[in-house]
A and B are shown apart, each in its own frame.
Chain A
Amino acid sequence: MNRSRFSLSRLCFWLGIGFLYAPMVVLIVYSFNSSRLVTVWAGWSTKWYGELFRDEQIMNAVGRSLQVAFYSASTAVVLGMLASIVIVRFRRFRGRTLFSGMITAPLVMPDVIIGLSMLLLFVAMAQSIGWPPQRGLLTVWIAHTTFCVAYSTVVISSRLREMDQSLEEAALDLGATPVRAFFLVTLPIIAPSILSAWLLSFTLSLDDVVIASFVTGPGATTLPIEVFSSVKLGVTPKINALATIIIGVVSLVAFGSWYVSRRIDERNRAAARMAAEA
């Protein structure tokens, strides 16, 4: 085993990190370029941020996307939690294979297939039962919730599986009802994973362009669709400014949630230790 500080794999790691971050750094630097030409440096300026915030079309799309992402993530986490309980705790029931297949398949299924199939479902449903009446944010919410359930389940179930079940058993032995035991013991323990699942679903929904393009309707353009149509025409500094804001917010939230979930973990572990000693 190699324990030296400079090994080949470490060199590869840092090169890989450079590969992953260099384009983003360039993107951020050029968002402060005062020239309209993205390739010519003409001094520092924040005017593209001003232009971005004055762009009503983009700002409206941001609002819509945040709304859809919020609702999709919240629904997906609830369904994902139930699905995790089913997968981890109910070892045997009819249709289990199909169920676990429906959890894994959305993780890898190409977006164009999910988008197309969902749209055709909505069209067929509107034709036969008259619902959903029109395509828009509602249909985007359903579509996003569906693939986010899969991701939420993977995140939450891995935590639920690791969890020490004797804590639940202790609560039951002490006379708690199963419902109380679930809400007072199980839920707090899997809380960090629910938070990460929510954040993951939120970012996935905020990021999706292909599925939303298929299932959305008039007047419900989400941010990625807006960005995609402007990016297809070429590189503009306004998009660089938007990208910088997104990267900034994501980094903040990622480090924040990493910190919080570590704290919750530590607290839980300390509580468990105290309980064990007592």
Chain B
Amino acid sequence: MSEAPKVKRKLDLSRLPGGRRWVIGAPYLWLAVFFLLPFVIVAKISLATSALAIPPYSAMFEWAEETLNIRVTLSNYFWLLGDDLYIKAYWNSIKIAFNSTVFALIIGYPMAYAIAKAPSHLQTTWLLLVLLPSWTSFLIRVYAWMGLLSNNGLINQALMGIGLTSEPIQMLNTNFAVYIGIVYSYLPFMVLPLYANLVKHDDSLLEAASDLGARKWTSFFRITLPLSKNGIIAGSMLVFIPVVGEYVIPELLGGAETVMIGKVLWQEFFNNRDWPVASALAVLMIALLIVPIMLFHRYQNKETGV
């Protein structure tokens, strides 16, 4: 066996003009300046006090009479933690996000399963059918439910038409409408990672189980479901994390009872013009989401090697 030693040549991008440094540097710098740095600034402003100025917060460093004054205050955090409204908003957001994630999983799992089990020439088309709505405007899809759920909307008209109720049921501006809106808008994000996971499953495992006498449901619960754990985590995080900070859906479909943290932050910022409190709200929200985000990141690493 005399085989000529094969010279493996790799595409060495460090020999590109500008070299490796440039290829890494451009996206790295952009993200560091426009994604990472902003969080540092948010954290900094959350330690300032609101002021009647432009911009409306106190400076952290002040140089006056040869003295450097550093002003840092935790008052915004004490204010947030001392007020029931904010605690309730956080709790409500987590509750709504958790419940809608479970609903989306219950609806999305069978859909993803059906696509993964469909004949392979149909799979792309079916997946496209699920994803297409998420490419049309998010705002417009939420808006569509405003028309459907209102007191004189199509659903109430139909319910009254078949005599189920004599007067319209209040659905718009309730938590019910918020759940519908969230599950509706985020369903494709649940289906996509689940499908990506389920389609890779090896059918021979199921055949082996059935040869050994396992019933269909048994092998589903003991083989398919545990194997799709990563897909379930990814899909759930893709729904749960953004929903915690959701603003548009509670604003358009929710009512007075729907106090969510994204809406509170928006109001603090735009209506009260209290930038430091809004920043503190953001910092606490990130603190809440950091574990789910890391969980999602780990899945991404595992699944794609990012």
Interface on A for B, CB 8 Å cutoff? 1-2, 7-10, 12-13, 16-17, 19-21, 23-24, 26-27, 30, 38-39, 79-80, 82-83, 85-90, 93, 95, 98-114, 116-118, 120-121, 123-124, 127, 142-143, 145-146, 149, 153-154, 157-158, 161, 165, 168-169, 172-173, 177-179, 181-182, 186, 200, 203, 206-207, 209-210, 213-214, 224, 227-228, 231-232, 234-235, 239-240, 242-243, 246-247, 250-251, 254-255, 258, 262
Inter-chain contact A117/B111, CB cutoff 8 Å: no
B306 touches A100 (CB 8 A): yes
What B residues does A116 contact at CB under 8 A? 42, 265, 269, 278-279, 282
Q: Identify which of A27, A114, A120, A214 contacts B279 (C-beta below 8 A).
A: A120
B244 contact set on A, CB distance < 8 A: 110
Task: Using CB atoms, name the residue of chain B closest to A262.
Answer: B124
Bound CA span A153–B157, Å: 46
Instruction: Please give, as numbers and ranges, the residues of chain A lying within 8 Å of B30 by CB-CB distance.
Output: 79, 145-146, 149
Query: Given A1-B203, A104-B296, are A38 and B147 also a contact pair (CB < 8 Å)?
Result: yes
Residue of A nearest to B275 (CB): A120
Contacts known (A19-B184, A112-B265, A113-B282); A121 close to B38, Cβ less than 8 A: yes
Q: Are B306 and A104 in contact (CB under 8 A)?
A: yes
Partner-A contacts on B (CB < 8 A): 7-13, 15-17, 20, 23-24, 26-28, 30-32, 34-39, 41-42, 45, 55, 107-108, 110-111, 113-115, 117-118, 124, 126, 128-130, 132-133, 135-141, 143-148, 150, 152-154, 157, 184, 187-188, 203, 206-207, 210, 216, 237-238, 241-242, 244-248, 251-252, 262, 265-266, 269-270, 275, 278-279, 282, 285-286, 289, 292-293, 296-297, 300-301, 304-306
* Cα distance, A243 to B23, chains bound together (Å): 40
Among A86, A110, A209, find the residue whose CB has the most chain B CB atoms closer than 10 A. A110
Q: Assess the B297–A121 pair: CB atoms within 8 A.
A: no
Least CB distance from B113 to A in Å reads: 5
Of the candidates A117, A124, A165, A251, the one whose C-beta lies within 8 Å of that of B282 is: A117
Q: Is the interface of B mostly helix, strand, loop or mixed?
A: helix
Given the interface contacts A99-B28, A117-B41, does A182 sit within 8 Å of B265 by beta carbon? no
Q: Which of B23, B115, B143 contacts A235 (CB 8 A)?
A: B143
Closest to A239 in B: B143
CA distance A7 to B111 in the complex (A): 11
Is there an interface contact between B144 and A243, defined as CB atoms closer than 8 Å?
A: yes
Complex CA gap A212/B24 in Å reads 28
Contact of A39 among B147, B216, B297 (CB under 8 A): B147
Closest residue of chain B to A240 (Cβ to Cβ) is B147
